[in-house]
Amino acid sequence: MSKPLCLLVDDESDILELLVMTLEPMDIDCVTAENLTKAKELMRSKSYDLCLTDMRLPDGDGLDLANFIGQNYPQTPVAVITAFGSVETAVQALKAGAFDFISKPIKLPELRNLVSTALRLLPERGEDLMSNFVGESEVMLILRTKIERLARSQAPIYIKGETGSGKEVVARMIQKLGVRADKPFVPVNCGAIPSELMESEFFGHKKGSFTGANTDKPGLFQVAEDGTLFLDEIAELPLSMQAKLLRAIQEKQVRPVGAQKEVPVNVRILSATHRDLNQLVKLGKFRQDLFYRINVIELYVPPLRKRSEDIPILANHILKRFTLKPTLKVNKSQQPRLSKQPRLSKDAIKALKKYKFPGNVRELENILERAMTLCENNKINLSDLQLPKKVEFESLQLLENGKTISLKQPLELLLDKVEKETILNALEQTDGNKTKAANLLGISFGALRHRLRKFEKEE
């Protein structure tokens, strides 16, 4: 098997020499270029497994080269060398399609890790994995294409979408298709961690650092080492924790509670929320610099109602999965329904395609699992779906941001939405303090906790 081939681009001969001396002992062949023009010529002459380029070149910059390679040689990952502390430049490089970046002065262990990670890219795995990502609508085809492309990058990605639309599924797919596929995937619901424990949960703590810290404990960053940290509902983080998270992402190191030194970490950050982060930034409830850092690339996951043509295929996929479940509920005759997949009647399919699915894919799963326990003769009819009855108002007036708006949706859903938004607003006003939020709402702490658990189950 031939050695990997790397193109190194820098106008400083001592930097090129350092890169070659580092990569050749890793059994990597190197070709060097001193400027952008020469680098493009070399790219046209043969195939490279990796390109490592300085940001500043005599006749252009690393962004130009990253764009050129991305458009003409997309299978070649590009890493960019940036000036120390130049976060904005690093973000620009990632948006331009760079696989990753490394800052000067170059730290050799960090360089070796970056190169090893880049050479683990296996694009041929994508087709098989993506076949499990169900849907043939145009929006799903676009989403699949974006996922395959973004999986090759190390850029932070902000996954935007409604509750139940599949944001975590998308995050896991990005992990599986990328170079960190065999490393940990650590999902965390930021809204489920008590504010007083957040720093310890994220960064870990040393024994004796606070009451109850009986042993050293690694944080989520350390647990996700070399893998992916998925920060779900990141909008729920209090501002104080947002500042610490920003530093951890920028510096690629964390300080456990009670520790004297910071610990280097190597994780890819994926984040998600169903809330509008742009609006929260404008309201001063989410740090703009953190939003800028996690939102290098935004990936939108469409709601199920935007791809209703996928529902029959998706429903069949879900029913097949439930049929194979060994713990599936039983029917009225008390016989396990494991051998044959039930089929949907034409009326049932038609109703599902017309239904708006406020809970998206998660709601479809719940509806179908319930229908499997109710249906007779292995056929799911319309009545078995038990779709929510619509209680609609032709013109329901509400005030939102000082403006009068008209809504047409089920009353139950509307009331649940108002209740949830009221509670979330109270938590924001009290920086996540549940006791103060309960007092502000005029309810007991237990009642608030019950409602929060209800919201978590719904999501």
The pLDDT of residue 232 is above 90: yes
- Contacts of 274-282 with C-beta under 8 Å, sequence gap 24+, read 274/161, 274/162, 274/163, 274/167, 274/233, 274/459, 275/233, 275/235, 277/158, 277/234, 277/235, 280/235
Same domain for 284 and 172 = yes
Determine if the peptide bond prior to 184 is cis (ω within 30°).
no
Same domain for 278 and 170 = yes
**Can you name the residues that pair with 54 across neighbouring β-strands?**
81
**Can you name the residues that pair with 270 across neighbouring β-strands?**
157, 230
Determine the number of helices (DSSP H) and then strands (DSSP E) in the chain.
20, 20
Same domain for 270 and 249 = yes
Same domain for 110 and 131 = no
CB count within 10 Å of CB 423 equals 20
Please give the pLDDT value at position 415: 60
Q: For the chain, what is the radius of gyration of the CA atoms?
A: 26
Question: For 117-159, what is each residue's pLDDT tens digit?
Answer: 888 764 444 444 565 578 889 999 899 888 988 888 888 999 9
Per-residue b/e over 253-277, b at no fewer than 16 CB within 10 Å?
Answer: ebbbbeeeeebebbbbbbbbbbbeb
Q: Stretch 294-311: mean pLDDT, rounded?
A: 92
Last residue of a domain, one of 68, 83, 118: 118
* Residue 450 covered by a domain: yes
* Both tokens assigned to 266: 């190597």
Same domain for 199 and 163 = yes
6, burial (CB in 10 Å: exposed 0-12, middle 13-18, buried 19+): buried
What 3-state class would DSSP assign to 194? coil
Same domain for 250 and 134 = yes
* Residue 390 covered by a domain: no
> Which among 65, 72, 63, 68 is positioned nearest to 95, based on CA atoms?
63
Residues in the chain: 459
Please give the pLDDT value at position 427: 84
Report residue 413's pLDDT band, with 50, 70 and 90 as the boundaries.
low
Please give the pLDDT value at position 17: 93
Say how far apart CA 268 and CA 157 lie, in whole Å: 9
Same domain for 141 and 93 = no
* Residue 32 covered by a domain: yes
Residue type, 53: T
Same domain for 222 and 150 = yes
* Both tokens assigned to 161: 């979408």
**Mean pLDDT over the full length of the chain:** 84
The pLDDT of residue 416 is above 70: no
Report residue 396's pLDDT band, with 50, 70 and 90 as the boundaries.
very low
Those residues with Cβ within 8 angstroms of residue 338's Cβ, 6 or more apart along the chain or in another chain: 323, 324, 325, 326, 328
Strands laid side by side in the 157-160 sheet: 185-189, 228-232, 268-273, 157-160, 297-300
Of the given ranges (153-167, 221-235, 255-269, 445-459), which has the lowest mean pLDDT? 445-459
> Which among 353, 387, 346, 355 is positioned nearest to 368, based on CA atoms?
387
> Domain residues for 278?
123-300
Last residue of a domain, one of 86, 118, 150: 118
For residues 186 and 225, the answer to whether their CB atoms sit within 8 Å is: no
Q: What is the CATH number of the domain that holds 131?
A: 3.40.50.300
Same domain for 362 and 316 = yes
Residue type, 293: R
Q: How many domains does the chain have?
A: 4
DSSP string, 217-233: EE-HHHHTTTSEEEEET
* Residue 391 covered by a domain: no
Percent of the chain beyond pLDDT 70? Answer: 85
DSSP string, 105-119: SPPHHHHHHHHHHHT
Same domain for 109 and 9 = yes
Q: Stretch 198-204: mean pLDDT, rounded?
A: 93
* Residue 421 covered by a domain: yes
Same domain for 290 and 158 = yes
Same domain for 153 and 109 = no
Last residue of a domain, one of 97, 118, 139: 118
Q: What is the CATH number of the domain that holds 412?
A: 1.10.10.60
For 266, phi and psi rounded to 5 degrees? -125, 95
* Residue 375 covered by a domain: yes
Q: What is the CATH number of the domain that holds 341?
A: 1.10.8.60
* Residue 378 covered by a domain: yes
* Residue 239 covered by a domain: yes
